[in-house]
Amino acid sequence: MLKIFKHKDQWEGPHHHVFSYLLICQCQMQHRGEIIENVVRRSGISISVLAEKIGISRNTLYNRFKEKNLSYDFILTLGKVLHYNFAVHFPEMNSDRTLPDDARIELFQLEQKYENLLEKYNWLLKFLLKKSQAIDQHALRKKIKEFINAP
């Protein structure tokens, strides 16, 4: 016979541990996409901007919200962009995912270098496009040399 409990105080008794276990299981089986979507919507960042920052289309991001078992790697990526720790909702994310401090520092430095390089590359492409339209080769050579010699 299945007994329905309407209040947690009714759970006390010989089977209390069973109900606690069921609650834990229910929490672990949460719809990850829905949780992520709620956090994203409360963050204030637009879906389009977020999708662009993580390199996917807006429609793809909406489809990811519909996935019950989103990968933790994807969730971590969103967390980095949103500056949000999703381990609050998914404590199991912390296991086997922590890097030693040295590796974390090195990873951060590499990410910064990559972002800096990407910005310079994008600037150079825009500049080359403008200059190719103006056909001012002398100024183009000068800017390319400046770019190459920049730190």
Q: Is the distance from CB of 85 to CB of 43 less than 8 angstroms? A: no
3-state secondary structure of 100: coil
- Quote the pTM value: 0.45
Model pLDDT, residue 34: 93
**N residues, the chain:** 151
Query: Between 1.10.260, 1.10.8, 1.10.3430, 1.10.3470, what CATH number should domain 13-94 receive?
Result: 1.10.260
Strand, helix or coil for residue 89: coil
pLDDT digits (tens, 9 = 90+) for 12-60: 555 444 444 444 444 456 789 999 999 999 998 999 999 999 999 999 9
Distance CA(98)–CA(112), nearest Å, equals 20
Most confident of 27-31, 98-102, 140-144: 140-144
68 by DSSP, 3-state: which? coil
